[in-house]
Amino acid sequence: MPSRFVRTPAGQVEIQARALKLSRPARNLLLVINDSRSLDDWLVQVHGVTPEDVALLRDNGLIAEAGGAAGAAPRPAGAGPAPADLREPASRAPAPAAAPATPDSADWDRTQQVIRAAAYTPLYDALNSVGKAKLGLMRGYRFALEIEKCNGIEDLRSLALRFAEQLRQEHGMAAVGELTYAIGAVKA
């Protein structure tokens, strides 16, 4: 399965509505999937996800092949209007009323929300693990010292937002998605 997949508008609605009662690995995949990696890479990156989970997401119209027709599944009752899939090319996506959004702006907004809402322990653990993995030995060590200098949750959140921006610039939104996933995967 070397194909690349994106979340559809129906997938975006499912993230908010939680109507389908997806397994945790399937939901995690739905949260992070984008066309920055092949499906095989996502199967390795998202712990516990199986090809059956991918088939379930695809059959329900929550994900679609990048560049292919993004089929919309029946939307949950009372879900409101479906948001545009911001990963679609601008020529196929409906034009937003405000300024045009960048392809990763929805993911970036979600990352900022996750960081601002995170408790101390999940944020601390995620910053340490992702920092070591993404920054290398020396920069990772200096970053760990910065984490230890934080005096409370607000300092830690501020550092996390700066780190997420650094990840975004150096490694792209896939790396930011790993940070977001790590924050959500740790229980407080």
36-94 pLDDT, tens digit each? 888 888 888 888 888 999 899 999 999 998 875 444 444 444 444 444 433 334 444 44
Res. 184 pLDDT band, cuts 50 70 90: confident
| Domain boundaries defined on the chain | 1-67, 106-185
Q: Could you tell me which residue, 135 or 2, shows the higher pLDDT?
A: 135
112-129 pLDDT, tens digit each? 888 888 888 888 988 988
Report the half-sphere exposure of 128 (CA within 13 A, side-chain side). Answer: 12
| Mean pLDDT value across residues 90-108 | 52
Residue 99 has pLDDT above 50, yes or no: no
Cβ neighbours around 166 below 10 Å, total? 17
DSSP 20: S
State the pLDDT at residue 80.
44
Report the half-sphere exposure of 76 (CA within 13 A, side-chain side). Answer: 16
State the pLDDT at residue 105.
74
Residue 158 has pLDDT above 90, yes or no: yes
State the pLDDT at residue 154.
93
Res. 159 pLDDT band, cuts 50 70 90: very high
131-152 pLDDT, tens digit each? 888 888 888 889 999 999 999 9
Res. 100 pLDDT band, cuts 50 70 90: very low
User: What does the angle CA 130 – CA 135 – CA 141 come to, to the nearest 5 degrees?
Assistant: 90
Q: How far apart are CA 96 and CA 80, in angstroms?
A: 17
pTM, two decimals, is 0.45
Nearest to 32 by CA among 53, 60, 1, 2: 53
